[in-house]
């Protein structure tokens, strides 16, 4: 993981300065030889970024889901390019996650720790692309990149024009319009096409006007029903949730929404092919965070930030490639796109380009990621930090004091309501609910053997060396990035050591 500090480049949509400075965050000169030699305008690739909303990393056929016929379109995309097994977003909630992608900076460095705009002095990917002659477009989730003037959108299609971001056919229609507009302009394009599936409310769980509209077949209001609807006995319950009837119903509705998300991806790829842009477009697919269930979204677990990151670049990526070694993160998206488009790096980024991995090369320093959390959509603050390697995950819960109770949107769902009801008579479920609500200051998991984070090893003396090693890694990253939780982390760790000793 490369983390450097330095001066910042200031960009806007009308006046742009892009450059690198010695010691600035981002890739070194050795890392970015290709980026320092911009490609000719006619050779610059187009970029189609497709995001899912609250999709778990293991909910796809290509990532191991046993739900029948769940993601045929996404699976075909994975087979045509590179799939990263150890890919993570940086923060497991929508707006901060997306702000990281487009700035290459941790939330405490770009200003968008929660649901607020990035700072005005932070450069964005869209500013660099517009300065290089790109046409920028966004479909749905428009308000989750703010302020809008920093993102330089030439084409905006909001969720209402896409049946609340859930109608695959409308994504196809608007994508074709966008691609043809780019062709007419003679410009390369960057399109961020955001599905709002499988975000709650899931198919079958809508309430009020949206539910009535769907039942009446009004796709313009609620989005159409998907081609495949799953029943509770067809799905697999994630291992971090108890297998209860209400949980199964909720998860079945989630997977039905996953299937509609897959149909949206298929329609976007169809539009790209039918307009003739398939061969000169980089396609990336990922989710902004994990599923909206307890122990996933708005947390720092493996199921919170691990994402199914797929990349297809015809003529550059080898079909059917699965990278099981390197760890990539949301902070790496912007530097990678800049280098792929032949543009110089921007000063101040925390991430670095993983373009060498797309060429099938090895890249040192990709053995861990740093993930963070600050605030829920309901403006409730629960500061968390995590260091994850391919095997272990260490979490620091700055908010956990035995009294404060955690609260997020997933607790309004059928699954958590079923868990709390079952907790009245089932001690195992009761213990799981209590742990979700109150946590402990430190958690340590062997994700290789316990991906669902069921066995906290932080107080197991067998793992004390690993705990100390990951504490040390977290402290280094906090110091290097000016993380505001550093003091609280040092105090908590010192107090824990004194208690143990």
Alpha-carbon distance of 247 to 230, in angstroms, equals 14
Distance between CA atoms of 297 and 92, rounded to whole angstroms? 5
What does the domain layout of the chain look like in residue ranges? 45-367, 372-500
Q: For the segment 118-177, what is each residue's pLDDT rounded down to a tens digit?
A: 999 999 999 999 999 999 999 999 999 999 999 999 999 999 999 999 999 999 999 999
Edge to edge, the sheet with strand 135-139 lists 155-157, 135-139, 189-194, 46-52, 281-287, 309-312, 82-88, 321-329
CA dihedral in degrees (477, 492, 444, 247; nearest 10)? -110
For 496, the enclosing helix (H) or strand (E) is helix 486-500
245-274 and 72-79 helices, crossing angle to 10°: 60
**How far is Cα 399 from Cα 375, in angstroms, rounded to an integer?**
11
User: Taking Cα atoms as reference points, which of 359, 356, 399 lies closest to residue 488?
Assistant: 399
* Widest pairwise Cα distance in the chain: 70
φ/ψ of residue 111, rounded to 5? 100, -15
Residue at token pair 């189609």: 48
Query: CB of 395 within 8 A of CB of 369?
Result: no
> CA 355, CA 407: separation in Å to the nearest integer?
39
Provide φ and ψ at 287, rounded to 5°: -105, 150
> What's the CA gap between 384 and 90, in Å, rounded?
12
**CA angle, residues 89, 169, 173, in degrees to nearest 5:** 95
Q: Shortest CA distance to 434 belongs to which of 294, 299, 296, 304?
A: 294
* Contact (Cβ atoms closer than 8 angstroms) between residue 282 and residue 48: yes
- By C-alpha distance, which of 241, 355, 214, 292 is closest to 54? 292
Per residue of the chain (501 residues), what is the pLDDT tens digit? 443 333 333 334 533 222 222 233 343 333 333 333 333 345 899 999 999 999 999 999 999 999 999 999 999 999 999 999 999 999 999 999 999 999 999 999 999 999 999 999 999 999 999 999 999 999 999 999 999 999 999 999 999 999 999 999 999 999 999 999 999 999 999 999 999 999 999 999 866 555 555 555 555 545 688 999 999 999 999 999 999 999 999 999 999 999 999 999 999 999 999 999 999 999 999 999 999 999 999 999 999 999 999 999 999 999 999 999 999 999 999 999 999 999 999 999 999 999 999 999 999 999 999 999 999 999 999 999 999 999 999 999 999 999 999 999 999 999 999 999 999 999 999 999 999 999 999 999 999 999 999 999 999 999 999 999 999 999 999 999 999 999 999 999 998 887 765
**Residues contacting residue 424 through CB under 8 Å, at least 6 positions apart:** 430
CATH of domain 45-367: 3.40.720.10
Q: How far, in Å, CA of 288 to CA of 91, rounded?
A: 8
Alpha-carbon gap, residue 444 to 453, rounded angstroms: 8
Question: What are residue 427's phi and psi, to 5 degrees?
Answer: -60, -35
Cα gap 35→334, rounded to integer Å: 12
Helix or strand (DSSP H, E) at 311: strand 309-312
105 token code pair: 């900076």
Which sign, positive or negative, has the C-alpha torsion 316, 319, 451, 230? positive
Nearest to 324 by CA among 355, 357, 353: 357
pTM, full prediction: 0.90
């Amino acid at each position: 993981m490369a983390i450097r500090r330095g001066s910042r480049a200031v960009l806007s949509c009308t006046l742009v300065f892009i450059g690198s400075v010695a010691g600035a965050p981002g890739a070194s000169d050795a890392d970015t030889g290709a980026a320092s030699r911009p490609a000719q305008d006619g050779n610059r690739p187009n970029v189609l970024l497709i995001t899912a909303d609250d999709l778990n990393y293991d909910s796809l056929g290509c990532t191991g889901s046993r739900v029948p016929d769940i993601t045929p379109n996404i699976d075909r995309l994975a087979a045509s390019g590179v799939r990263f097994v150890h890919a993570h977003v940086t923060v497991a909630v929508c707006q901060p996650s997306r702000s990281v992608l487009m700035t290459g900076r941790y939330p405490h460095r770009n200003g968008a720790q929660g649901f607020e705009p990035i700072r005005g002095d932070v450069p964005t990917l869209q500013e660099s692309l517009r300065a290089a002659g790109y046409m920028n477009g966004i479909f749905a989730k428009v308000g989750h990149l703010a302020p809008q003037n920093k993102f330089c959108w030439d084409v905006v299609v909001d969720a209402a024009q896409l049946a609340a971001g859930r109608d695959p056919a409308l994504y196809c229609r608007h994508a074709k319009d966008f691609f043809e507009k780019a062709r007419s302009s003679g410009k390369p394009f960057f399109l961020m096409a955001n599905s709002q599936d499988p975000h709650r409310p899931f198919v079958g769980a809508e309430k009020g006007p949206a539910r009535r509209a769907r039942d009446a077949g009004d796709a313009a209001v609620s989005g159409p029903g998907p081609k495949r609807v799953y029943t509770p006995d067809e799905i697999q319950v994630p291992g971090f949730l108890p297998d209860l009837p209400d949980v199964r119903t909720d998860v079945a509705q989630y997977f039905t929404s996953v299937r509609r998300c897959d149909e949206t991806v298929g329609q976007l790829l169809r539009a790209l092919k039918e307009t003739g842009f398939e061969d000169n477009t980089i396609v990336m697919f990922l989710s902004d965070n994990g599923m909206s269930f307890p122990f996933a979204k708005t947390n720092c677990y493996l199921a919170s930030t691990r994402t199914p990151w797929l990349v297809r670049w015809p003529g550059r990526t080898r079909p059917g490639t699965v990278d099981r070694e390197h760890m990539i993160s949301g902070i790496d998206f912007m530097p990678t796109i800049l280098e792929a488009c032949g543009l110089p790096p921007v000063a101040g980024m925390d991430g670095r380009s993983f373009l060498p991995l797309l060429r099938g090369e090895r890249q040192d320093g990709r053995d861990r990621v740093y993930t963070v959390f600050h605030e829920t959509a309901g403006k409730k603050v629960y500061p968390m930090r995590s260091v994850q390697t391919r095997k272990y995950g260490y979490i620091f819960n700055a908010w956990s004091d035995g009294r404060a109770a955690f609260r997020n949107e997933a607790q309004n769902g059928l699954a958590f309501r079923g868990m709390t009801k079952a907790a009245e008579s089932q001690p195992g479920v009761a213990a799981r609910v209590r742990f979700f609500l109150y946590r402990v200051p430190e958690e340590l998991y062997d994700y290789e053997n316990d991906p669902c984070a069921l066995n906290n090893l932080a107080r197991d003396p067998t793992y004390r060396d690993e705990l100390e090693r990951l504490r040390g890694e977290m402290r280094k990253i906090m110091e290097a990035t000016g993380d505001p939780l550093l003091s609280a982390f040092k105090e908590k760790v010192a107090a824990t050591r004194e208690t143990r000793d």
